Chains A and B, each alone.
Chain A
């Protein structure tokens, strides 16, 4: 079946560096993608989203890039801070008339001071 996956399960960076978290998706019909951040003991928190008619979208310190040719999604975090340490999930609209998300398993980002 269709699934969303991640290239790296863990990522460790130094404070102040930029972080890049990657995600591969396999459903070519997906037209909407979301990145979530999940801190320990908390629910997933919405970070940024992008629709398939866009290649790039920027927020505060975060940028999402979408490459539909290779079905790849990435989240870039600028000047990573210790508070960015969390698990990051990508999710895609699995298509059809019902709005349902398919989630990746997550990447654990650790920021070292």
Chain B
């Protein structure tokens, strides 16, 4: 099992460019999440999808959009990248919409110049 797979692993963008971060899980999980991780800030929730067909804002949603494409895939889009969005982005998934551990991918390292 691959678990949670994120692509790309690294990306450099110029201010104003757009891009989509991809995430796929093969564990038949219902819920999926997008986080960003910045030095000294811990993991902060951007958006989540409790189940296929639903998405909700997290703690820091501004500047991002998401799409739950199907049960396996959850993408994060930056429409107009800003330097403040330079970060490491993690996707996670969990089996049930309840108390179960979230499983993480290895992240996308994004730099905005």
Residues of A within 8 A of B (CB): 31-32, 34, 36, 41-46, 49, 51, 89, 93, 98-101, 103-106
Measured CA separation A68–B40 after assembly (Å):
26
Is B31 part of the contact surface with A, judged by Cβ < 8 Å? yes
Measured CA separation A31–B97 after assembly (Å):
14
Measured CA separation A105–B45 after assembly (Å):
13
Known contacts A43-B90, A43-B107, A44-B90, A101 near B42 by CB under 8 Å: no
With a CB–CB cut-off of 8 A, which chain B residues contact A34?
A: 101-102
Q: Is the CB of A89 within 8 A of B42?
A: yes
Known contacts A34-B101, A49-B101, A43 near B106 by CB under 8 Å: yes
Residues of B within 8 A of A (CB): 4, 31, 40-43, 45, 48, 50, 56, 58, 90, 92, 94, 97-107
Min Cβ gap B30→A in Å is 10
Known contacts A43-B90, A49-B101, A105-B40, A100 near B45 by CB under 8 Å: yes
Measured CA separation A51–B106 after assembly (Å):
26
Q: Is the CB of A98 within 8 A of B50?
A: yes
Q: Is the CB of B90 within 8 A of A100?
A: no
Q: Is the CB of A104 within 8 A of B45?
A: no
Measured CA separation A44–B40 after assembly (Å):
16
Q: Is the CB of A93 within 8 A of B99?
A: yes
Specify which of A43, A51, A103 is in contact with B42 (CB 8 Å cutoff): A103
With a CB–CB cut-off of 8 A, which chain B residues contact A31?
A: 99
Q: Is the CB of B94 within 8 A of A89?
A: no
Q: Is the CB of A89 within 8 A of B43?
A: yes
Known contacts A43-B90, A105-B40, A105-B42, A98 near B56 by CB under 8 Å: yes
With a CB–CB cut-off of 8 A, which chain A residues contact B40?
A: 105
Q: Is the CB of A99 within 8 A of B31?
A: yes
With a CB–CB cut-off of 8 A, which chain B residues contact A49?
A: 99, 101
The 8 residue pairs across chains A and B that have the minimum distance between CB atoms: A43-B104, A32-B99, A103-B43, A105-B42, A46-B101, A103-B42, A43-B106, A44-B104
Q: Output the nearest chain B residue to A1 by Cβ-Cβ distance.
A: B59
- What are 16 A-B residue pairs whose CB atoms fall within 8 Å in the complex? A31-B99, A36-B104, A42-B106, A43-B104, A43-B105, A43-B106, A43-B107, A44-B90, A46-B102, A49-B99, A51-B99, A99-B94, A100-B58, A101-B43, A105-B40, A105-B41
